[in-house]
Amino acid sequence: MSTNTVKKIACIGAGYVGGPSMAVIALQCPNIEVVVLDINEERIKAWNSDKLPIYEPGLEEVVFAARGRNLFFSTDTTKHLGEADVIFVSVNTPTKMSGIGAGRAADLTYWEGAARMIAAVSKSSKIVVEKSTVPVKTAEAIAKVLTRNCVDPNVKFEILSNPEFLAEGTAISDLTKPDRVLIGGQETPTGRAALEKLKWVYAHWVPDNRILMTNLWSAELAKLTANAMLAQRISSVNAISALCEATGADVSQVSYAIGMDSRIGPKFLQASVGFGGSCFQKDILNLCYVCESVGLKEVSDYWYTVVAMNDYQKQRFVERVISGMFNTVAGKRIAIFGFAFKKDTGDTRETPAIDVCRGLLADGAKCAVYDPQVAPIQMFRDLSAPKYAWDRPHGWTKSENHIMESVQAVSDPYSCAAGSHAICVLTEWDEFKGLDYAKMYDSMVKPAFVFDGRNILDHDALRKIGFVVYALGKPLDPFLVRG
């Protein structure tokens, strides 16, 4: 038998990363027992039910195939962490809300809590794998927490960094056919042995040339940099979308032309109302904070502009809606199509819809929101929670009354549009493309507007129906040109 054999894997954190990534490991490695743990009992209950706690295409098939065979979801951390030889930590690492580095630094409270839990129950040596996205050099701090809190001096901990590159909405295919798996470890004999063990797990389905092994700090920094570069592309094209509107150029044509350049490539060049999701903003802010901490203010300022441009884009969209509708949306019903931060997920963390709805509500609009995957309670929570509070399990208390009065969650797009002055498309759900807009037009207040924040609709067809159309980054309808 290979010395690399791993018998049992435990993962702390049954979220968007922990759940799908461990399910795929379990499916691909039937001889390894995989247990996903969480302090959130509801979440674990849902993972053990027919209705999984997150929506992700293909996830049910993977979970239902492996669950009960070698994949388990549990809250019994003591038992499973004690028995595991490899422990992934995939807890949330939100932006700090208060104290030093508030609004930028990563809050490592959950990570440290997980490390203390591991130390408390470990009676044998463990490989601890950072799956969460963490600041550079977190492994060093975690190693100290682990060794100082473990009572048995014979127990050794080897820390690896194995950042996750999956994208929500395509998580299962990303995990099944990853562009690369990155594993960072200490450049010591025990560090190299741990790297080999984890590599052995992934080698069950990932080709050898796609498993990259680096030192710990490179792996940690590569994850932050990957997200910063992806977000930077979106902010770059969004900046150009504003210039397109001012000059009469068409951002889709510009994107297509530059994407044909093999040095640039076509991906992540679609102009939109802004990027969202739990990672991009948080990880860039975190990168900025790391840069500042080591005295690199110019580098920090450089990356911060990516976030600033994203905020500008959301604000710009709100201003377009308001100015297009005769400079007032007070009392007007606006249909919001899509609340999730992208299609094929129900995740709303940092979704641009939050800032857009808040901007419209601040000007007195009434928002009717339709999203095929987001529960009404989630919309109300998001619209009333303070900034950065969303990524904390108990960070939200109750919806504010004025939000409840001005926001209506609607279960179908036609009732959502009925009686509205405008439709704002904020998520690129495929189903929005095939709706009967003529039927909606008949039920709306005139002039009826469509503000397409994702450029997914057939704008000419909408104009023929009678809509005034704003398409982001495209030549403006004469109706929308400011006098």
The binding site for NAD(+) comprises: 13-18, 38, 43, 91-95, 132-133, 168, 279-282, 349
Q: 132 or 373, CB closer to ligand NAD?
A: 132
Amino acid letter, residue 282:
K
**Tokens 């189903």 identify what position?**
431
| Six token digits for residue 324 | 């297009």
Give 372's DSSP letter: S
Q: Interface with ligand NAD includes 93 (CB under 6 A)?
A: yes
CA separation (Å) from 410 to 292, 336, 337? 44, 10, 10
Nearest residue to the partner ligand NAD, using Cβ: 15
Applying CB under 6 A, which part among 8-16, 61-69, 424-432, 435-443 lies near ligand NAD? 8-16
**Tokens 């400011």 identify what position?**
482
Q: Which residues neighbour 211 within 8 Å (Cβ) at sequence distance 6 or greater? A: 180, 181, 183, 199, 202, 203
Q: Interface with ligand NAD includes 38 (CB under 6 A)?
A: yes
Query: Are the C-beta atoms of residues 6 and 85 closer than 8 Å to each other?
Result: yes
User: Burial code of 192-219, b = ≥16 C-beta within 10 A, e = fewer?
Assistant: eebbbbbbbbbbebbeeeebebbebeeb
Q: 19 or 185, CB closer to ligand NAD?
A: 19
Binding mask 121-160 for ligand NAD (x = CB under 6 A): -----------xx---------------------------
**Tokens 């100015």 identify what position?**
323
Query: Are the C-beta atoms of residues 220 and 138 closer than 8 Å to each other?
Result: yes
Q: Interface with ligand NAD includes 271 (CB under 6 A)?
A: no
Q: Interface with ligand NAD includes 104 (CB under 6 A)?
A: no
Q: Interface with ligand NAD includes 113 (CB under 6 A)?
A: yes
Q: Interface with ligand NAD includes 274 (CB under 6 A)?
A: no
Q: Please, which of residues 182-241 interact with ligand NAD by CB under 6 A?
A: none
Applying CB under 6 A, which part among 39-47, 80-88, 96-104, 414-422 lies near ligand NAD? 39-47
**35: three-class secondary structure by DSSP:** strand
Write down the least CB distance from residue 199 to ligand NAD, Å.
20
Applying CB under 6 A, which part among 84-92, 317-325, 330-338, 378-386 lies near ligand NAD? 84-92
d(CA 396, CA 36): 25
Q: Interface with ligand NAD includes 279 (CB under 6 A)?
A: yes
Enzyme catalytic residues: 279
Q: What is the H or E stretch that residue 362 is in?
A: helix 352-362
Amino acid letter, residue 192:
R
Q: Interface with ligand NAD includes 14 (CB under 6 A)?
A: yes
Q: 17 or 288, CB closer to ligand NAD?
A: 17
Q: Interface with ligand NAD includes 168 (CB under 6 A)?
A: yes
Q: Tell me the backbone φ, ψ of residue 249, rounded to 5 degrees.
A: -80, 165
Write down the least CB distance from residue 303 to ligand NAD, Å.
16
Query: Are the C-beta atoms of residues 163 and 222 closer than 8 Å to each other?
Result: yes
**Tokens 């995740």 identify what position?**
347
Q: Interface with ligand NAD includes 82 (CB under 6 A)?
A: no
- In the annotated binding site, the residues are 13-18, 38, 43, 91-95, 132-133, 168, 279-282, 349
Q: Which of 6, 9, 11, 15 binds ligand NAD (CB under 6 A)?
A: 15
| Six token digits for residue 214 | 């680096």
Pairing state of beta strands 33-37 and 157-161?
Answer: unpaired
User: Contact residues for ligand NAD (CB under 6 A)?
Assistant: 12-18, 37-40, 43, 90-93, 110, 113-114, 117, 132-133, 164, 166, 168, 278-279, 393
